[in-house]
Amino acid sequence: MRITGLKCAVIGDNPVVRVLTDEGLSGFAQVESYKPYLRWHVLHYERFILGEDPTDVERVMLKIRRRGAFKPWGSAVSAIEIALWDLAGKAAGLPVHKLLGGKVRDRVRVYNGAVRFPMNGLAPEDYAENTARMAASPEGFTIVKQGVAFHSQVPRSMPGFFYGDPVTGGHGDYGYGPITEQGMRYLVDCVSAMKGALPAGVGLALDCGPGWTVPDALRFARAVEDHHLLWLEDMLAGDYTPFAGADLYAQVTGHTATPVHTGEQIYLRHGFKELIERRAVDIIGPDPCDVGGLAELKWVAEHAHLHGIAMAPHGTGDGLLGLAALVQVCAALPQNFIAFEYPVGSPSWWYDIVEGLPSPIVRDGFIDVWDRPGLGVEIVPDAARPYLAPEDLDFFD
């Protein structure tokens, strides 16, 4: 079997990658919905992989892996890798998790991720109400994550929250600077309100930034220690920052009992090396659609496990093919796996064009791992064609 082509089409909000072969099999993968511009980046790699055997995934990846970079540039490389695993699984008649070493678990825990509800305001009671709604959603999540501080509208909407200027016009960029005493008290009050709104047995995690100074990150982490939070995410680096910040995180993690988490923007195992080996964080959260793909994520997880660091992979914008990829790889991760961030189909008609997903997808906060070949889900071409842009009408040909 040889690769004969590479295509990319934006379907709904997500770029979708297709690797074609001379035997008629195709592998599919999806990129975060925030990156509709990645078509060119994906197609740039076609010339490097044409003629290769797609089931020799690592050999193919050696040709393109070094040509990626931190979020968002590694997304194209990651999507190609995931599509190759989909192809390899179909060719072997095996689910991807078997190719990655087999299932460690028969079901995988997820947290709310893309299951969100509009906030009615930014007061502590508004956070409490919104958090309770997520905990009461039919998926039965046992972990709820909320955005606070620099991962919320607070820096733009609350005068006196921090000593700095809000940033506008960028994805997830809300500012940087020391938080005022008033702002810090407000954040602690929000945490108390959210914890009080959650039923017993449902954990709370916070997406915090980036944007914090090291002293404020440590001050906040210590102030909420009694609330037994699952983690504080991306306080010092993360999202679209092109560095890991291990030296900064190490100044926080070793001095608080509140777990510290980062990693969604990091590309390749090399980007995690210092974070892991310095034990600069307690939990890492690579996104399979940014880190370099499924095998890369598993390698990072294994290395983290050796150093006592847990895994809670990112994935909120990865769509339904990304959901399938996360189910497959997380089934094969070591025992340091906690949960992954649950993506949804957007627009909702994605659920009409993809077959193979269970119904309901999530039960009591878990997804049962399926055993169909490849990623185990398929886009139905006839159902998807009406949603293709004119320039993509040949995507399924």
Task: Give tens-digit pLDDT for 141-176.
Answer: 999 999 999 999 999 999 999 999 887 766 655 789
Measured distance CA(155)–CA(178) in Å, rounded: 11
Which positions ≥6 away from 306 have C-beta within 8 Å? none
Buried b (16+ CB within 10 A) or exposed e, 107-139: bbbbbbbbbeeeeeebebeebbbbbbbbbeeeb
Domain ranges in the chain are 3-93+380-392, 98-375
Asked whether residue 208 carries a pLDDT value surpassing 60, the answer given is: yes
Whether the predicted pLDDT of 44 surpasses 70? yes
Which residue is it, tokens 């049962």?
Answer: 368
The structure tokens listed for 246 are: 């291990």
pLDDT, residue 72, reads 86
Cα distance between residue 102 and residue 10, in whole Å:
32
Instruction: State pLDDT tens for residues 46-77.
Output: 999 999 999 999 999 999 999 999 988 899 99
Secondary structure of 134-165 in HEC code, one letter for each residue: HHCCCCCCCEEEEECHHHCCHHHHCCCCECCC
Check residue 173 and give its pLDDT. Answer: 57
CATH fold of 98-375 reads TIM Barrel (3.20.20)
Determine the Cα–Cα distance for residues 125 and 103; give it in Å rounded to an integer. 42
CA dist 82 and 374 (Å) reads 10
Q: What is the pLDDT of residues 350-389, one digit of tens each?
A: 999 999 999 999 999 999 999 999 999 999 999 999 999 9
CATH of domain 3-93+380-392: 3.30.390.10
Give yes or no for residue 273 having a pLDDT over 70.
yes
The closest alpha carbon to 322, from 13, 94, 68, belongs to: 13
